[in-house]
Structure 1
């Protein structure tokens, strides 16, 4: 693996992943929608091109064929906030993913690595339960799962290796979207009430540099047509994470458990296992939750 295309490259996880690939000596073509990158810094082996992945014709026009060996796909509109429940947007994301994989094949890439989500497992559990009434919050995960299913069949048909790393819950310095860790730390800073579900559901969080490491190692060492869970290796009930975060970052704050109804699906701890990615790819998480939340809190105080 020497020359890599990365979409969504100027986003939170994408930008860290670009940097990790560069640090490993790869040449990277970074694609994103901005006229110029906001997060990425100029480097000798980095080139940046403005590209909307929904414009497949434009993508083919701006990327020369026969140069790149690996295509890493992060670009996904509406990964946080209210857009997660926009079914048309999430379906379009799935279709865009399939088309990007087909372009990767046409460009001569031998491997297509796409960012999946642990929510795909939650979707399966919720949908295939008799009498279940899944909430709209599952729409994002459904989009990811649809993309996964279609890509696997089409990849086998067109002859490109598909690898599907599945992120549990990424967090870290540079995260602006309203995901759980970011939102909770901001509430601590602002002195807002910390209201949660009973938080007995199993959970895991993984620091963004570990996510970037995982994508590199899956792209390099992963087995074709396999999925790999990216986590900390220390999954546990959400309440334990919350108490650790509040204890280290907001000891004067009092978390209120049970104030918010839980409408999701509690997954068994085995769902979060990272044995496959460790054994096949050589992944080892390096940043503990305590260290990661402390770094994130320190950064939030500066913005």
Structure 2
């Protein structure tokens, strides 16, 4: 690849994807929300467009290799059930694909979420019936269906990349790993449900690399699960985190009622490996060490 467009380039995954592209010598046009100063911290060689109105974007160049749509509002827990925000996300995704077509992009890569599939205990490959439990997951699912139809109408190759639970430095999502790290670093005892569900975690640099490979390779227009391909009960993950930070602290496993609606969160990655050769480069343990050190340094600066 030589040139790509990335929306949501200021977000957690977006920033790492931009860095991954820059490291590979790939030119990036980053689209971020207007007036928010979110271009701060992006690579100086990245062309930045600040707007949230994709219909007005008129890029002078054309022939981009890939368009990555990561922009998504309302990702924190308090806004995942904000109907207006999630409906706006669906409309924005459609506008993004239309922009990709106008810019002559060779393919459109939308980023989905494991939140589209909440009622599965077994690993999923993305083709199972979607079972969201909040407006966020439902909006991701709706975006997939809308984009799949639009891609056929305007004739643009469409890939849907479903991310498993991603963690790493700079993650503001209060998922169970980030919650555990922050609580333990603060000297507090984290409290959980039984943590018997099987889970899949992927370090952020590997998530970004997988997305790059989907753009680089002549992959089929299909749904790809992006994960580590390794699964374990949640209690094993949080115990490893505890052992690295404060092995003397007791974990409050089982102190909160079980969320019986969430049966598991594991991605089947055989399509991704088959079509791109992707394998994770960073183990869960190494990724956790990097993440702990980052947040320990942040705490020391406060």
Alpha-carbon distance change, 223 to 67 in structure 1, aligned in 2, over 3 angstroms:
closer
Alpha-carbon distance change, 36 to 12 in structure 1, aligned in 2, over 3 angstroms:
closer
Query: Shift of residue 38 of structure 1?
Result: 2.6
- Residue of structure 1 in register with 2:287 after alignment: 292
Residue 238 (str. 1) matches residue 229 (str. 2): no
1:196-235 equivalences in 2 (<5 Å): 196-221=192-217, 223-235=219-231
Does the Cα contact within 8 Å between 1:193 and 1:255 map onto a contact in 2? Answer: yes
3-state SS, counterpart of residue 248 of structure 1:
helix
Query: Shift of residue 222 of structure 1?
Result: 5.5
Alpha-carbon distance change, 197 to 222 in structure 1, aligned in 2, over 3 angstroms:
farther
- Residue of structure 1 in register with 2:267 after alignment: 272
What is the Cα-based RMSD across aligned positions, in Å?
2.0
TM-score, with structure 1 as normaliser:
0.88
Q: Which runs of 5+ in 1 are unaligned?
A: 126-133
Aligned length: 286
CA distance in structure 2 between the aligned counterparts of 1:142 and 1:123, rounded to whole angstroms? 13
Query: Shift of residue 176 of structure 1?
Result: 2.8
Does the Cα contact within 8 Å between 2:119 and 2:263 map onto a contact in 1? Answer: no
Does the Cα contact within 8 Å between 2:120 and 2:263 map onto a contact in 1? Answer: no
Question: When you count helix as a share of all residues, which structure comes out higher?
Answer: 1
Query: Shift of residue 261 of structure 1?
Result: 2.2
CA distance in structure 1 between the aligned counterparts of 2:150 and 2:202, rounded to whole angstroms? 30
Query: Shift of residue 124 of structure 1?
Result: 8.5
Does the Cα contact within 8 Å between 1:112 and 1:160 map onto a contact in 2? Answer: yes
Does the Cα contact within 8 Å between 2:224 and 2:271 map onto a contact in 1? Answer: yes
Query: Shift of residue 299 of structure 1?
Result: 0.6
- Residue of structure 1 in register with 2:92 after alignment: 96
3-state SS, counterpart of residue 80 of structure 2:
helix
3-state SS, counterpart of residue 173 of structure 1:
coil
TM-score, with structure 2 as normaliser:
0.89
- Residue of structure 1 in register with 2:51 after alignment: 51
1:11-90 equivalences in 2 (<5 Å): 11-33=11-33, 34-35=36-37, 37-43=39-45, 46-52=46-52, 55-58=53-56, 60-61=57-58, 63-90=59-86
- Residue of structure 2 in register with 1:149 after alignment: 145
CA distance in structure 2 between the aligned counterparts of 1:96 and 1:158, rounded to whole angstroms? 17
3-state SS, counterpart of residue 159 of structure 2:
strand
